[in-house]
Amino acid sequence: MLSFFKDYKLFAIVFGIISIIIMSIFYNILKVDKPLPIYQPAMVNTELVDSTIQHKIKYHKIADFSMTNQNGKTITQADYKDKIYVADFFFTTCQTICPIMTGNMETIQQEVLNDDDVMLLSYSVTPDIDTVEQLKRYAIKKGVNDKKWNLVTGDKGEIYRLARKSYLAVKDDGMPDDYGMVHTENFMLIDKKSQIRGYYDGTKTEDITTLLNDIKKLKKEYEE
């Protein structure tokens, strides 16, 4: 009788181990990463979205734009054609969250430096202050790679419209003057179809890690 129970115990252990292995194999086979969401205006905090499009639930894309970068070059949507990119809004004289955001954007730059599919784009929310010369000084100071990362300035109205109607990323300052913006800590992940695929807190290390992982997920969509 004791021998039977010993044999049964051995069988149970072996069976349990084999079951765990089989279940692990099936889990890995069946495990499929969910695709990243495609953000629409109706999915985003209304404070960040222009009132004219807050109801929109599909077909949202980043509008065409024309800006000037730190080298005086005109930057348009065409420069980001067939690219994944990370975008944000900042200003060079900001002493609060911008230095942290810029530092984290530089971290992303280093991680994707040799990846031709991924670029970065930072819009100034104070274009009257952030001239080409000012952006260039800032770019040099912050280690911006000109081939990878554009810091852009331009018409304030266009930047405001892009921020509120395309990237859904900044708050209106509520002042009576036109195009007043309160930029946020948001980083936006944009896919090759100019769609928003993720929002991240640009001041948090854990969000930057998530963003880098999401870039890898997004790249896989184009490999299938």
Instruction: Determine the pLDDT at residue 5.
Output: 46
Separation of alpha carbons 119 and 31, rounded Å: 30
- What are the CA-CA distances from residue 91 to residues 28, 95, 152, 182 (Å)? 45, 9, 10, 11
pLDDT tens series, the chain, 224 aa: 545 445 555 555 545 566 555 554 444 444 467 899 999 999 999 999 999 999 999 999 999 999 999 999 999 999 999 999 999 999 999 999 999 999 999 999 999 999 999 999 999 999 999 999 999 999 999 999 999 999 999 999 999 999 999 999 999 988 777 788 888 999 999 999 999 999 999 999 999 999 999 999 999 998 86
Instruction: Determine the pLDDT at residue 174.
Output: 83
Contact yes or no for 69/151 (Cβ under 8 A): yes
Residue with tokens 């929109």: 56
Locate 210 and state its tokens. Answer: 């998530």
SS3 85: strand
Residue with tokens 């010369």: 133
Separation of alpha carbons 5 and 170, rounded Å: 69
Contact yes or no for 63/166 (Cβ under 8 A): yes
SS3 222: coil
Contact yes or no for 172/182 (Cβ under 8 A): yes
Separation of alpha carbons 172 and 161, rounded Å: 11
